[in-house]
Amino acid sequence: MDKDILGKNVSQKIKDEIHNYTNPLTIKPGLAVIQIGEHAASDVYINQKRKAALEVGITFKHFKFTKDDPEDLIIQKIKELNQNEYVSGIIVQLPIPINFDKNKIINSIDPSKDVDGLTSISLGNLVTKQDGFISCTPAGIMLLLNEYKIDVSRKHVVIIGRSELVGKPLMNLMLNHDATVTICHSKTINIDLLTKQADILIVAAGKPELIKSDMIKNSAIVIDVGINRVNGKIIGDVDYANVYDKVSYITPVPGGVGPMTVAMLLKNVMISHQKASHTYNHQEQPSEPTISLSNGQKYYITDKLVLDGKNYLYLLDQETKTDVKFCEFDEANNKLILVNNDDINAKLAFMIFEKYVS
């Protein structure tokens, strides 16, 4: 019997679903990522999200701030994105420098665009079983269990880790599905006495190969959320080889839970777009935002920027669906002007687009 629970296969189904949704759309769903400070791992994760988003037809915007930028500047950008109809989801890439108020920044995200499920409103909706976005890794774990027909109802689920990203939302998800839940953390005494009771053991401790075979009971289901780089290899929080013969199911690292996290993030972006009132497709003619020129041509405005009184636009031809990459709009004469390489303002505007919008 194959005991591996493989997230790669399930996540591909999700990506196919998203691609099928976005493919006929003229105006695609958009994901905006806020990054604060320098963090090598964050750079890797953001690039993974960018690649995955573009593969399924979701536009990607990366806004990078330094550790010295004012907090209000970051919150103002988030508020702008809240009002941007081309942005379906907003996330703050964690961690952020300790001099910032993480909760204040995250809670400035409109809950309807909180695709990471981390605002206080989203977390409260989860606790009270109201509709809302759920943190991506816990949501991915629940979907994996469902795909493998593992019912958590009446099971004793032991979760190691109490983070806001995984442990706490997962606890509430399990409770909402009638599991009996025990949470363990760094201050838990005799943790092995609790892990041995688990029908389903979920490990998100951040400690390489913490769980050994003598810490689980026979036929336990083990979900390994850990991602640790040791001697150039990626390993989990569970000693996979050591426990394999004893478990009934286990998620390998890599290839288990990992692929589900990004897939669920993109699915949340799709859901946000579906719920929004400005969903367009090839069969629907959007009432706005379009621009009609004197020659009769019509364009979709996909992004805009005002700089020194000039309007710079990224446009999409309504008839041919061909990108007009970058133009200035002369409102007085109602015409588009292709960017002149000698126009310093245009160059600056393009740089701003590339840095903060692309």
DSSP-assigned beta bridge partners for residue 184: 160
Ramachandran area for residue 97 (φ above 0: left; ψ -120 to 50: alpha; else beta): beta
Helices (H), ranges, the chain: 7-22, 40-55, 71-83, 102-106, 120-127, 136-147, 167-176, 191-195, 240-243, 258-275, 344-356
List the one residue out of 170, 171, 169 whose CA is nearest residue 120: 169
**CA–CA separation, 134 and 157 (whole Å):** 19
Query: Which 3 state secondary structure label does DSSP give 316?
Result: strand
Pick the catalytic residue from 15, 61, 93, 113: 93
Question: Among 116, 199, 224, 237, which one carries the catalytic annotation?
Answer: 116
Phi/psi at 337 (5° precision)? -125, 120
Q: What is the DSSP string of 99-117?
A: TS-HHHHHTTS-GGG-TT-
Structure tokens at 315: 């446009």
Catalytic residue among 15, 28, 49, 77: 49
Contact (Cβ atoms closer than 8 angstroms) between residue 175 and residue 42: no
93 is catalytic: yes
Amino acid, res. 53: A
What are the helix (H) ranges across 213-257?
A: 240-243
CA–CA gap between residue 316 and residue 297 (Å, rounded)? 11
Q: How far apart are CA 258 and CA 212, in angstroms?
A: 21
Asked if 104 is an active-site residue, the reply is: no
* Known active-site residue 246: no
Active-site positions read 49, 93, 116
